[in-house]
Amino acid sequence: MQFIRKMLKNEKGATAIEYGLIAALIAVAAIGAMSTIGTNLKGTFNNVATNLK
């Protein structure tokens, strides 16, 4: 019975899962931001290349 109580009080696993979810959320936000910035940069470089011709 003490083992079960000890396992219920142990929150290390829950904390690790929370950190994993936070890291995944940050990764999704970063990918979204970088893809938007990449698209904008592509347009900018295409404009520069066109104007240099």
pLDDT for 25: 96
Separation CA 14–CA 20 (nearest Å): 10
The list of the chain residues with pLDDT below 50 reads: none
pLDDT for 17: 83
Separation CA 9–CA 46 (nearest Å): 58
pLDDT for 31: 96
Q: How far is CA 4 from the centre of its chain?
A: 35
CA angle in degrees (0–180, nearest 5) for 10-12-18 = 130
- State the virtual CA torsion across 48, 49, 51, 53 in degrees, nearest 10: 160
